[in-house]
Structures are given as structure tokens and as C-alpha cells.
Amino acid sequence: MKRKLIPILLAAVLVLTLIPTSTLSAGAIELNPDTGWHDGGPGPFTISTANQLAGLAQIVNSGAYRFVGRTIILANNIDLGNAPWIPIGNADNVSFNGTFDGAGHSITGLNVSGNHIRAGLFGTVVDGTIRNLTVMGTVNNNSAIFSDVGGLVAWMSNGRIENCLALVNVTAMSGTGITNTAGGLVGSAGSFMTGTSFIINSAAAGNVNSNADFVGGLIGRAQARVVIENTYATGNVHSTNTHANGAAGGLIGISSSLVAAVPAIRNSYAAGNVTGTANRLGGFAGAVTHGAVANTCVWNTDAVMNGTGETGNNATFAAVGLTRNEMTDNNALTTTMAGLGSAFTARANTATSHYFPELLVFGGSDSSRASVTSIVIDRDALTALIAQARAIVNANYTDTSWNALQMAIAAAQAVLDNPYATQEQVSGQVVVLQSAIDGLAVIADNTALIALIAQARAIARGNYTDANWYMLQTAIAAAQVIADNGDATQVQVNEQVTALQNAIDRLRIADTIILISWIDAARTFTRDNYTDASWYALQDAIDAAQAVLDNPNATQAQVDEQVTALQNAINGLTPPSRHLIRSWWWFLMAIPLMIAAIVGISIS
């Protein structure tokens, strides 16, 4: 089977698993479902455009046609362009029951978001097959109800997934915390009455983040008759579930059954980190309450020490734990490969890159990415800077700058702990953390302000004017806001000290508001526009008014007297005298006559 784009797509996985969902959904296009390719006949049907694929979803979701016994073939690669995608079989009462053959092609730009009962490229698959397909994008489901979420298929009964690869970041959250399952490839799979569900020669390489009860890097839950063989998951799994039955694992969340038939898992490995609050966490499986995990399965002990969070009485767990080096090192790979089986192949390491085993159906040559690449990263500077930052004691730093430092430390630690972080990400955290350290701001000294506020509050109302008293209370309130602000600067504190002191100093038994306004108005006049006598009279009036204003015991009569004196002085401002202007005019007019007379005398 030819899979032309697999090497290229695999090379993008490391980037995919480190970029946020919002980035992938930017620049979305709009899909216009095209159902013209479906004539209702026996098929096979061929799909070659994004709109035709959306048409498939429209047909299935209408409930009119389930494609039982029909085959759909993907004619070429399709880019959905991050357009909002409605899953094919988006509810529990509509399903895809046919065969979807990707023919070695890919569907990129998947963007499932919103509130879906079944969220993935396919929502519900019953008695159907998905094969020879690569899908790349994001699934971000926020459901208020019981739901299943998967990168390729959300929920499958008696179905088959074969030769499929999901490069999909999956986020599945519920406000009520009752999201059912979440997996990088499949949310939930099982067969309860007859038949068996298969996941064969398939893998998932995206991160899974969910508060679902059952979360796995490949599949959230395998229940009853399920065979999982020749698979792997390399993405990180994070669970925020707090239920007693919560389970999260590197490959599978839970293997369980309510009937006699049980799941079987073999020739598979998990390489990603498994973290979170789920009650049961395991590097390979969160819990195996029913079924068998064979000794041909492997998990990465550098990511999670224990292989499963629980093994039930009706289950066996024989998976082998190996270190990252044992799973990727050239010398140790022989043992690993012998355990995983002939469906996998090894790729020789280089000086800077180590590789996990790859499935032969995905190429497995030096031209492919061969799962997750481990580049030699220099983490020493970030390690040292985190230690330096943690040693800083919060003695007198502002709340904002201190909280910013703690957030920077947490972000830096997350990158440091991420085995797949790039050098650029590590170096970037060094810059960010150093900036947070440099940005620590010392809390301002507000001792004087607090003392002045106490002094102001102790002043009795007495005979002070309403206006002056209101100004004081306003100044006290403003000063208290700054005194209570853990992020206030020294400049802000000093400004409030000055403002409050001014309010105290201006307390008067007389109403001085009008006098203040006239003093301010008098000081706006310019010297050069008036005679000396009127100008100096105004300055004397300003000085006298200021003296009364500064006197806390000044009576209202004295204040009013100064207001009148200022008004009179302003009204008395006199421009230069007009007779002087006329004298200068006659003088200028006389100059020519005088010159003529002088010239006449000289001639005679």
C-alpha cells in the first residue's frame, strides 16, 4: 500500500503536539456540503473534495442512509481548511455502517469544536470499517452531556480500524464532568452481542487532555469484544477527572467488559507522559479490569513508572516497562523489536536523534519520522534559572510581579519536564523566566501614607465647611485605595501623601472655594499687557488673598472681603494709556518735517 504523504505528515507531529488548538483553527474556511456524488446505488463511491466529504456527513447525519455494505474511496488528499466540522454520525442514533477507504491519502485541517455527543472525524461507526487513512487537526469538544471523543472515531461498535494514523490533538471537557471517553484515535470501541471490534496497524501521535472518565493516548475505553494489535501512541495524556472510577493511560484509559467476552491487546506500545488527577494512572493503561494485555506490549518507564493503575481479578497485565533509551537505542532495540513483533521496524539513530519503533505500514524508512524524534537538548541554563527563581523569597514584592514569576516558573518547569520540547522552546523559557525575575517590583513604602490617613480620620467634623470636609473625605478614600494596593508604586504613594496633606491643610471654617478659584484666575494674567500700577495692585491683592486662604482661622467675612478685593484688582487692570499712543503717533508724523527743515537750513 502506498502512503505518499505519511513521511511528511509524520515529520509534523512534534510541532503538532506542541502548538495550541487555537493556532490550528485560525483562518477557517466555510464548507458547502456536496452530495451529488451519491446516487443511491451500490457504489463504490469516490470522494475527492472537502465539500463532498461534508456531503457524506450530511447524508449520514440526516439518518436517511447509513451506507450499509457500501464503500467510499478517497481519491486524493483533502484539506478541510480548519472549517468547523460536523462529525460523520454526530449522534447515538445516526451512524456510518459502510467502509471508508482512505486509499493511503490524508485528511488535514480537521477542526471539531463545540458541543457534540460523539466528536471526531467520525462520530458513530457501527459495523463499519475505516482503513488506509491519515487524519490531522484538532478535536476540541466541550459538552454538557455524556459524550465520547476521538481523533478519528468517537464511538465504534463491531467496527474495524486498520492502517490509520491520527495526528490530532484532542481536548474533551465537560462542565458537569460526565464526559465518557477520550482517545487520540478512538474514544470508545466494543462489541457486546456478536462480532468483534478491531484496531489494527494504527497509531495516534497527538496529545489528549480531558476530564473524561476514561482517557487514553490511543483509545479511551475498550469494552467487551475488542482486539487491539500492532498499535502505538506517542502523545502526552493529561486527565483532570476527579471521579472515583477515573482512569488514564498512555495507550488506553480502561479495558473492561460487562459480558463474558473481554478485550485483547497485543504488540503495542505507549511512549508519552501520563499526568493528572485521575484515580488510576498508568504508562500503558489506566486500568485493566477485564481482558488481557500481552507481554508483547511496552510502555515508557521514563514517562510513567507503573504500567497500569489497576489490574482486576478478571484481567491480566503482562506489558513490559522499558526506559526511553531501551525503546530507542540501537543496541537495545533488538529486544524491543522482538517483543513488539514483525509489524514494527527500527530506524537507526543519529548523533542527535533517537527514534521509537515504527509500523511498517507507515513507511518505517529513513525518509519517515518514525514516531517521536528525541533531539539532544541543552536544558542546563533553564534548570539553573528555575532553581534561582525558586530560591527567591517573597519578602516585599508586589502581588502582580510575584504572581507573574510563579507563572513563569510553572511554565518553564513544564517545558523542562517535556521530553519532546524543542531547543527553541527551552531557550524561550529562559528568556521569559529571566524577564519575570527582572520584573519583580518592590512594594512601595506606604508608612507615611498610612499614618497620614489615620491623622486625617481623627479630625473632627467641627465647624469646617461642607465643601472642605467633602474634599478631605474624598482624599482619604483615594489614599486608602493606594494604601491597600499591593502593586502601588512609590510615585503613586507619594502623590496621595501630597494630595491628602493638601486636603488637611485646606480645612477651613469659612468657605474658601470661591476664593481659591479667583486666586487661580488672577494668576493667569500676563505682566506685559498692563500698566505697572494696575499690575502691582493685582499682585498685592493676590498676596493678601493667599494669606487669608492660608489662615485656618480666617472668618467668612475676611474670605469674602478678599474675593471682592481680587475682583476689583482684576477689573482694575489697565492697558498702556491711549494718550501715550497718540503722542508717539504725532512724534512719528513730525519726523519728516524735521528732516526737511534741517535739509533746508543746510542748503541756505
Residue 347 has pLDDT above 80, yes or no: no
Highest mean pLDDT among 9-13, 232-236, 339-343: 232-236
- Shared domain check, 249 and 228: yes
State the SS3 of 15-46: HHCCCCHHHHCCCCCCCCCCCCCCCCCCCCEE
- Residue 397 falls in which region: left (phi positive, over 0), alpha (psi -120 to 50) or beta: beta
The alpha-helical segments, DSSP class H, found in 485-531 are 490-505, 513-522
Q: Which amino acid would we find at residue 74?
A: L
- Shared domain check, 388 and 324: no
Residue 149 has pLDDT above 90, yes or no: yes
CATH number, residue 340: 2.160.20.110
Grid cell for residue 572: 482694575
Residue 4 has pLDDT above 60, yes or no: no
201 within a domain of the structure (yes/no): yes
Phi–psi pair at 516, nearest 5 degrees: -60, -45
Which residue, 438, 471, 487, sits at the end of a domain? 438
Residue 196 has pLDDT above 50, yes or no: yes
45 within a domain of the structure (yes/no): no
| Rounded percentage of the chain residues whose pLDDT exceeds 90 | 47
- Shared domain check, 320 and 406: no
Bridge partners (DSSP) listed for residue 140: 113, 171
Which residue, 438, 466, 486, sits at the end of a domain? 438
pLDDT tens sequence across 242-294 = 888 899 999 999 998 866 667 789 999 998 889 999 999 999 999 999 999 99
12 within a domain of the structure (yes/no): yes
- Shared domain check, 250 and 381: no
- Shared domain check, 282 and 208: yes
- Shared domain check, 402 and 262: no
Average pLDDT, stretch 443-468? 86
- Shared domain check, 387 and 350: no
- Shared domain check, 405 and 294: no
CA-based nearest residue to 276, from 247, 301, 298: 247
CATH number, residue 410: 1.20.1270.90
Domain count, the chain: 2
0.85 cut: is pTM over it? no
- Shared domain check, 237 and 118: yes
| Average of per-residue pLDDT values in the chain | 83
Compute the radius of gyration of the chain from its Cα atoms: 40
Residue 447 has pLDDT above 60, yes or no: yes
324 within a domain of the structure (yes/no): yes
570 within a domain of the structure (yes/no): no
- Shared domain check, 204 and 98: yes
Q: How far is it, in rounded angstroms, from Cα 273 to Cα 461?
A: 68
Bridge-based pairing state of the strands 153-157 and 186-191: parallel
pLDDT of residue 19: 38
574 within a domain of the structure (yes/no): no
- Residue 188 has, within 13 A of its CA and on its CB side, a CA count of 26
- Shared domain check, 320 and 398: no
pLDDT of residue 374: 33
22 within a domain of the structure (yes/no): yes
Which residue, 327, 357, 374, sits at the end of a domain? 374
pLDDT of residue 599: 56
Q: How far is it, in rounded angstroms, from Cα 113 to Cα 467?
A: 59
Boundaries of domain holding 411: 377-438
Residue 131 has pLDDT above 80, yes or no: yes
CA-based nearest residue to 317, from 329, 304, 299: 299
Grid cell 497500569 in the structure block, residue = 308
47 within a domain of the structure (yes/no): no
CA distances from 338 to 166, 333, 396 (A): 25, 8, 60
Among 98-107, 203-212, 454-463, the minimum mean pLDDT is found in 454-463
- Shared domain check, 260 and 181: yes
Q: Which helix (H) or strand (E) holds 233?
A: strand 226-233
